[in-house]
Amino acid sequence: MSLILKFPAHILGFLNWWLGVMPTRIFRSFEEIFTKFDGSLQLVSNLRLWFMFEPLFGDYGWKGRMIGFLFRGVRAAVTVLIYISILIVAAAFELGWILLLPASIGLIFGLI
């Protein structure tokens, strides 16, 4: 009798783990990857220096300012593309994890 009473609690615990705990862990792991990339690519500081036409390598002439502007602009654009790709991969992992259970149940019972 106690097994029958504990069964709904086990199912709810599993669903809580599947839909609550694991997506949070996936999100945190991608957040850690994102912060590691941000530490090395430094989008905000590059944008700040890009908008101020800060020269690159200490060349304060107009050529150095233009090279710095172009280099930092390209670097900021590549950084944004890397961030977007990380977010797309993270969203695909989250969606894949959430849809894995219904898809496996559908395959087991022949619904798909």
Let me know if residue 4 belongs to a domain: no
Let me know if residue 10 belongs to a domain: no
Let me know if residue 80 belongs to a domain: yes
Let me know if residue 11 belongs to a domain: no
In this structure, what is the dihedral angle of CA atoms 34, 39, 44, 45, given to the nearest 10 degrees?
-170
Let me know if residue 92 belongs to a domain: yes
Query: Looking at residue 37, what is its pLDDT?
Result: 86
One pLDDT digit (tens) per residue for the chain, 112 residues:
577 888 888 899 999 999 999 999 999 999 999 899 888 888 888 788 777 777 777 778 888 888 888 888 898 899 999 999 999 999 999 999 999 999 999 999 988 7
Q: How many distinct structural domains can be found in the chain?
A: 1
Let me know if residue 29 belongs to a domain: yes
The pair of three-digit structure tokens given for residue 67, joined into one six-digit string: 């090279």
- Check if the beta carbon of residue 56 is closer than 8 Å to that of residue 64: yes
Let me know if residue 17 belongs to a domain: no
Let me know if residue 103 belongs to a domain: yes
